[in-house]
Amino acid sequence: MGYYSLLTTCAFIHLLVFMPYAYSNYLENKAGQFFSSGHTNNWAVLVSLNKLGFWFNYRHVANTLSVYRSVKRLGIPDSHIVLMLADDMACNYRNPKPATVFSHKNMELNVYGDDVEVDYRGYEVTVENFLRVLTGRLPPSTPRSKRLLSDDRSNILIYLTGHGGNGFLKFQDSEEISNMELADAFEQMWQKRRYNELLFIIDTCQGASMYERFYSPNLMALASSQVGEDSLSHQPDLAIGVHLMDKYTFYLLEFLEEVHPASQANMNDLFKVCPQSQCVSTPGHRTDLFQRNPGSVLITDFFGSVRKVEITKDTINLTSSVKPPIQRSGSSDMTIESLTYVDQLPVAEIIHQKPKQKDWHPPDGFILGLWTLILLVFFQTYGIKHLKHIF
């Protein structure tokens, strides 16, 4: 019994000594896998392609703004979103609620909001501009807000909605982009190291035909309908007079509303969104070009911006020595004091400025009321027979 007791004691001591070491190695390996990922930032390109001025295309704008609202809620900032709306339904004269776009009937959810930043609007939404945004071939004068400044560590979500057919997608009802042109644009992005992984989602009739020609790696695609099928609208609203959304994007939005930044929902869950019993059309997806298992790809890898954080115990000095004042050449007496950030903008002076006096204007109807009063007094005093002396 003494021998077995000694053996048990030695095994217990061995376990106590080496377990922390093994656990430390496990954590280091997990951390190494975590930070060895090529994904460090997220971008989104969201496009509504409907023709300018067509009120019945209201749902396409609502589709795009719904996805825009979801990706912003999950952490992708406006600086990493390129929003292209071919029509401004919020300001359309037929909109009974100006400055709003609703995605649910009875006007329950306004997806336009107060902080929508539209980068391309109206006739700026063209095939040429769309391809230039993807490939980065923009004029030097193009502002940063209209650029897709991604790199080889960027995961990009591209969402398109509008009218399409077998192998093409309409832009403004005046031009088209083919599935081959789109495939070549993605290949240019890959060759120019503009993405790490790319998720393509399209809600249009015969949407699956648009990803048939894709051949670039690390690309996953979803569509609302198969070849030969229509993508149907959803939720007619009597007050607005049109359908508010398309079926596929409506159920996609419902799914995304349940996702939060720490959610473990993966792409396989996204594939189940809007089955044929709900969409009527048959949603499709393509994963053969994607290197990872879709079950291991989190929804937030594309729809969110969950940043990787590395914890360190090392002390980092963030302070820097103060630079001496800069002297002008040729003069030792004259000096230029270096301004701090606060001094460069006199905020205090701006805040305490007196408001500018506005020019006085008579209220609406004041002049008309004054003339009415003058005529009434004239009629009571002189009668209508003296009216000819006025004119």
Which residues are catalytically annotated? 163, 205
CB 166 within 8 A of CB 179: no
The span from the CA of 337 to the CA of 328, in Å, is 11
- H helices of the chain, where? 2-35, 58-73, 127-135, 179-191, 247-257, 267-271, 276-279, 300-303, 341-344, 347-351, 366-382
Which residues fall within 8 angstroms of residue 77, CB to CB, at 6 or more apart?
305
In angstroms, the CA 85 to CA 130 distance is 11
Beta strand 41-48 with 81-85 is parallel
At position 275, the amino acid (one-letter code) is: P
Helices 127-135 + 179-191 axis angle, to 10: 20
Q: Are 285 and 221 in contact (CB under 8 A)?
A: yes
Residue 58 buriedness (CB in 10 A; 0-12 / 13-18 / 19+): buried
- What letter does residue 328 receive in the DSSP assignment? P
| CA nearest neighbour of 60 among 255, 205, 221, 167 | 205
Rounded to a whole number of angstroms, the distance between the first and last alpha carbons of the chain is 132
If we measure between CA atoms, which residue out of 257, 44, 290 comes closest to residue 190? 290
366-371 contacts, C-beta under 8 A, 24 or more apart: none
85's CB contacts (< 8 A; 6+ apart) are 48, 61, 64, 65, 118, 120, 121, 125
Place of tokens 């088209």: 176
Residue 345, token pair as written in the block = 């903008």
Contacts of 191 (CB under 8 A, 6+ apart): none
Residue in 255, 202, 253 with CA at minimum distance from that of residue 224: 202
Q: What backbone torsions phi and psi does residue 7 show, to the nearest 5 degrees? A: -65, -40
